[in-house]
Amino acid sequence: MILREIYARSILSKSQVFDYAVNSYVGCQHGCVYCYARFMKRFTGHKEPWGEFVDVKINAPALLKHEIDKMPPGRVWVSGVCDPYQPLETAYELTRKCLEILIQYGWPITVQTKSPLVLRDIDLFKKSDKIEVGLSVTSADDEIRKLFEPGAPSIKERIKALEELHLAGIRTYAMIAPMLPGAEELAAQLSGKVDYVLVDRMNYHYSDWVYRKYHLEEAMSYDFFFSKGKKLASAFAKQGIECRVLF
C-alpha cells in the first residue's frame, strides 16, 4: 500500500448524484474489483493498481471550513469516489472532522460505506436529523464477497453495523450495488435494519476477468440482473421495505 499525505486544492465538489461530494481520500484500501472510482487514476496520474495506493488529503477539514461559507447549502455525499471509513480513517479521522463541520452548518448528508468503522461516529449522526447512513451490501454470500471485494469488511459485519445504526435511531439504507450472486438472501437479513434499499447492476467493464476466472458469466448475464432485481424488489416489499431498482 502506497500512502501519501497531500494538500488538496478543494474539497467540496459538485456531484451528479447529490448536490456535493466530499472525498477526503484519493484511492481506497478496499480495492473492490468492480469499483467505478478507479477512473480517478486518469486524473491523478497514479500508476499503482486500484486498491494499492491512497492519497490522504490532510487539509480536508480546513478546506471544508473555508469553502462551506461560500456555497449554497445542499446534500453532501460522503464520499462517492472513496470509502470514507476505509481503515486509514481510524488514524486520520478526516471523515469525522468533515462531518462535524457539515453538521454544525446543518447541511443534509448521505454517508455510504462498507465498513463498521462508521459506528464510531454514531454520536455525530445523532446530532442531526438530516443524515442518512448506508452500507453497501452486495451479496449475502461472503465467499462471493471475497472475490469481488477482497479488502472490504465481511457482509456479516456490515449488516450488524446497519442494525446498530438503525437501533440508534439513524435513518439507514442498504446499497445492493452491484447485485452479486447470493443477494437474494439479503431481504430477510436486512429486515428491521434499514429504511430503504437501492439495487443496481454490475459495471462489466472493470470486472470481466472475475466472471471468466470463476465461470460466473452466465450467472451474471443481463437476464440474471433483470430477473433477480425483480425478485429482490418483491422480497423486500414482502418485508415492508421500500426497494428502488436503478436499472
Determine the length of the chain.
Answer: 247
From the list 8, 96, 4, the residue with the least C-alpha distance to 52 is 4
Residue 31 in the binding site for ligand SF4 (CB under 6 A): yes
Asked if 37 touches ligand SF4 (CB under 6 A), the answer is yes
Sheet with 53-57, edge to edge strand ranges: 2-6, 53-57, 25-26
Is 145 near ligand SF4 (CB under 6 A)? no
Binding ligand SF4 (rule: CB under 6 A), the pick from 22, 23, 30, 60 is 30
Pick the binder of ligand SF4 from 35, 98, 176, 220 (CB under 6 A): 35
Residue 69 Cβ, how far from ligand SF4 at the closest point, in Å? Answer: 29
- Chosen residue from 46, 114, 193, 228 binding ligand SF4 by CB under 6 A: 114
Q: What pairs with residue 14 in β-bridges?
A: 20
- How far apart (Å, rounded) are the C-alpha atoms in residues 234 and 240? 10
- Choices 10-18, 30-38, 40-48, 232-240 (CB under 6 A): range interacting with ligand SF4: 30-38
The per-residue b/e assignment along 114-141, b for 16 or more CB within 10 angstroms, e otherwise, is: bbbbbbebbebbeebeebbbbbbbbbbb
- Tell me if 133 contacts ligand SF4 by CB under 6 A: no
Among 55, 83, 89, 132, binds ligand SF4 (CB under 6 A): 83
Minimum CB distance to ligand SF4 smaller for 31 or for 181: 31
Out of 54, 68, 82, 155, point to the residue binding ligand SF4 (CB under 6 A).
82
Q: What is the DSSP letter of 193?
A: T
Check if the beta carbon of residue 26 is closer than 8 Å to that of residue 54: yes
Q: Are strands 76-78 and 53-57 parallel, antiparallel or unpaired?
A: unpaired
**Listed ranges 26-34, 62-70, 119-127, 234-242: which one lies at the site for ligand SF4 (CB under 6 A):** 26-34
Q: What angle do CA 245, 73, 106 make, to 5 degrees?
A: 90
Stretch that binds ligand SF4, among 31-39, 59-67, 175-183, 217-225 (CB under 6 A): 31-39
Smallest separation (angstroms) from ligand SF4 to the CB of 239: 26
Minimum CB distance to ligand SF4, residue 12 (Å): 19
Residue 228 grid coordinates: 433477480
Stretch that binds ligand SF4, among 29-37, 139-147, 173-181, 189-197 (CB under 6 A): 29-37
Positive or negative: CA dihedral 141, 146, 148, 152: positive
CA distance 167 to 160: 11
At its nearest, how many Å lie between ligand SF4 and the CB of residue 73? 25
Contacts with ligand SF4 by CB under 6 A lie at: 28, 30-32, 35, 37, 82-83, 114, 152
